[in-house]
């Protein structure tokens, strides 16, 4: 009866890797990811030429780089999606170690590229943002620690993962990067809930987060300016939010037409943080709904496939990755339509950015690997392994 409910994928002895991967991977999620990348290239063609012209570069300089890093990201995604859960766990733990060290050394060796936040390493030909790679690795490590609580005599994985999350949030706030810090906390909180946390404890944690937000508002001019600007009833049309809001209003249902938008000439981050404003102006509400549908397909289908998963590590890791991916998209689009304060966060797999694209490819590869159909052990076998 259990097998009738959850299903079992037959294992074919000697089956080649690629056919087995294609038979077990979620093809609808894979197609949605490719759709997002295609949308990013199309919007990059519209948004990036003005910036390239201002910088004295070839008009399609940023688009060609996005295509290059995008192909690397898709390759990394496919390779990562072929890994087993055990291999993913090893990759995540090792990757977390490297990314954590890189994040900790940012105040000494990093650069801000004139943006006021030390978040990158400059390599000359490219830049690397460690926090982008830290996020999926953190989810894998947290899932491993929380899953250990299910084992008799296992370590206090939930408590350990909590203090790791607190440490990461502290390092991110120092940069400052409150957007990435909120993603880390959000993913950890949802994973903690799925792992069986009590509502009372979650309410206490939520109260602590709110208290931390109030403290940040009072102690950081950077945070206070963004919160005050968000709460102000008057919107300065000369700010990035002002330009983005006007572009979204001008786009209407069907947009002003391909190449006819003007916001890309005013917004310095039109090809990154405010790419959705370019989509809304030139392609209208229809294009925005298509992008939202693609993100929703990836998150919802992943969650549905994880519901039938019995391995605690797979279930927790997949939930964290899907939630972090969807939450980042929600924050980016929420900022553009002024539902959230400005945070400086890219739209995954759509915005320009080498680190963002490559890290998103690895994260989505992990998600595809965790949601692949595989033979499900019975509950007695899982308990037996714990003993």
Average confidence (pLDDT) over 32-40: 93
Q: What is the pLDDT of residues 114-145, one digit of tens each?
A: 666 788 787 877 778 888 999 999 999 999 99
Average confidence (pLDDT) over 317-331: 93
Taking phi first (over 0 means left), then psi (-120 to 50 degrees means alpha), and beta for anything else, what does residue 270 get?
A: alpha
**55 three-state secondary structure:** coil
| Residue 382 banded pLDDT, cuts 50, 70, 90 | very low
Number of domains in the chain: 1
**63 three-state secondary structure:** helix
Q: What is the pLDDT of residue 11?
A: 54
Considering just the CA atoms, what is the radius of gyration of the chain in Å? Answer: 21
Is 44 a member of any domain? yes
Is 22 a member of any domain? yes
Q: Show the tokens assigned to 293.
A: 């549908």
Evaluate if residue 107 carries a pLDDT over 60. yes
Is 215 a member of any domain? no
Q: What is the pLDDT of residue 9?
A: 52
Average confidence (pLDDT) over 179-183: 85
Average pLDDT, the chain: 83
Is 38 a member of any domain? yes
Evaluate if residue 360 carries a pLDDT over 60. yes
The string of DSSP letters for 287-300 reads HHHHHHHHHHHHHH
Measured CA to CA, the distance from residue 345 to residue 347 in angstroms comes to 7
Evaluate if residue 371 carries a pLDDT over 80. yes
Measured CA to CA, the distance from residue 51 to residue 351 in angstroms comes to 14
Query: What distances in angstroms separate CA 34 from CA 75, 136, 335, one per listed residue?
Result: 12, 20, 24
Q: What is the torsional sign of CA 270, 272, 275, 276?
A: negative
Q: What is the pLDDT of residue 297?
A: 95
Measured CA to CA, the distance from residue 366 to residue 177 in angstroms comes to 24
Q: Of 7-11, 21-25, 34-38, 186-190, give the lowest mean pLDDT range.
A: 7-11
Q: What is the pLDDT of residue 236?
A: 63
Is 9 a member of any domain? no
Q: Which domain holds residue 27?
A: 15-192+235-373
CB-neighbour burial class of residue 86 (10 A; exposed 0-12, middle 13-18, buried 19+): exposed
pTM: 0.87
Evaluate if residue 383 carries a pLDDT over 50. no
Q: Could you tell me if 179 and 344 are in contact, meaning their C-beta atoms sit under 8 angstroms apart?
A: yes
Q: What is the pLDDT of residue 4?
A: 35
Q: What is the pLDDT of residues 210-224, one digit of tens each?
A: 877 777 777 777 677
Q: Which residues, other chains included, contact 41 with Cβ-Cβ below 8 Å and sequence gap of 6+?
A: 63, 66, 67, 70
Q: Which residues, listed in sequence order, are joined to residue 128 by a DSSP beta bridge?
A: 121
Evaluate if residue 375 carries a pLDDT over 90. no
Q: Which residues, listed in sequence order, are joined to residue 121 by a DSSP beta bridge?
A: 128
Q: What is the pLDDT of residue 12?
A: 62
Q: Of 135-144, 228-237, 320-329, 364-373, give the lowest mean pLDDT range.
A: 228-237
Q: Could you tell me if 136 and 370 are in contact, meaning their C-beta atoms sit under 8 angstroms apart?
A: no
Is 241 a member of any domain? yes
Q: Could you tell me if 363 and 17 are in contact, meaning their C-beta atoms sit under 8 angstroms apart?
A: no
Q: Which of 52-56, 143-147, 218-222, 337-341 has the highest mean pLDDT?
A: 143-147
227 versus 45: which is more confidently predicted? Answer: 45
Evaluate if residue 243 carries a pLDDT over 80. no
Q: Which residues, listed in sequence order, are joined to residue 122 by a DSSP beta bridge?
A: 127
Residue of 247, 318, 303, 319 whose CA lies nearest to 276: 247
Evaluate if residue 39 carries a pLDDT over 60. yes
Tokens 């409150």 belong to which residue? 178
Is 205 a member of any domain? no
Q: Which of 85-89, 177-181, 275-279 has the highest mean pLDDT?
A: 85-89
236 versus 23: which is more confidently predicted? Answer: 23
Q: Which residues, other chains included, contact 154 with Cβ-Cβ below 8 Å and sequence gap of 6+?
A: 148
Q: Are strands 121-122 and 127-128 parallel, antiparallel or unpaired?
A: antiparallel
Phi, psi of 14 (to 5 degrees): 75, 10
Share of residues in the chain with pLDDT > 90 (%): 33
Is 202 a member of any domain? no
Evaluate if residue 338 carries a pLDDT over 60. yes
Q: Which of 108-122, 261-275, 285-299 has the highest mean pLDDT?
A: 285-299
Q: Going along the chain, which residue ranges are E strands?
A: 121-122, 127-128
């Amino acid at each position: 009866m259990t097998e009738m409910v959850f299903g079992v994928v037959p294992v074919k002895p000697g089956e080649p890797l690629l056919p087995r991967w294609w038979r077990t991977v979620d093809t609808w999620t894979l197609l949605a990811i490719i759709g997002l990348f295609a949308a990013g290239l199309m919007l990059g063609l519209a948004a990036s030429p003005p910036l390239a012209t201002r910088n004295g570069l070839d008009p399609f300089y940023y688009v060609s780089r996005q295509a290059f890093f995008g192909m690397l990201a898709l390759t990394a995604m496919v390779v990562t999606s072929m890994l087993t859960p055990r291999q993913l766990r090893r990759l995540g733990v090792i990757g977390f170690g490297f990314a954590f060290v890189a994040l900790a050394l940012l105040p000494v060796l990093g650069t801000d590229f004139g943006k006021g936040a030390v978040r990158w390493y400059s390599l000359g030909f490219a830049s690397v943002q460690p926090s982008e790679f830290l996020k999926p690795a953190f989810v894998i490590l947290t899932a491993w620690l929380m899953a250990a609580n299910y084992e008799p005599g296992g370590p206090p994985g939930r408590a350990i993962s909590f203090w790791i999350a607190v440490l990461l949030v502290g390092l991110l706030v120092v940069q400052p990067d409150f957007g990435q810090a909120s993603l880390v906390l959000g993913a950890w909180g949802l994973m903690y809930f799925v792992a069986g946390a009590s509502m009372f404890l979650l309410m206490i944690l939520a109260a602590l987060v709110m208290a931390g937000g109030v403290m940040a508002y009072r102690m950081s001019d950077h945070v206070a300016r963004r919160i005050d600007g968000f709460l102000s009833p008057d919107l300065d049309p000369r700010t990035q939010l002002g330009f983005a809001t006007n572009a979204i209003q001008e786009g209407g249902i069907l947009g002003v037409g391909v190449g006819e938008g003007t916001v890309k000439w005013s917004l310095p981050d039109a090809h990154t943080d405010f790419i959705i404003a370019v989509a809304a102006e030139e392609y209208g509400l229809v294009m925005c709904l298509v992008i939202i549908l693609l993100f929703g397909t990836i998150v919802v289908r992943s969650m549905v496939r994880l519901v039938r998963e019995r391995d605690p590590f797979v279930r927790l890791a997949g939930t964290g990755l899907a939630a972090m991916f969807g939450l980042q998209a929600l924050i980016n689009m929420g900022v553009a339509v002024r539902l959230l304060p400005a945070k400086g966060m890219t739209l995954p797999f759509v915005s320009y950015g080498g680190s963002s694209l490559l890290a998103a490819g690895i994260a989505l590869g992990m998600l595809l690997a965790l949601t692949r159909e595989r033979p499900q052990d019975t509950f007695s076998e899982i308990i037996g392994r714990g003993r």
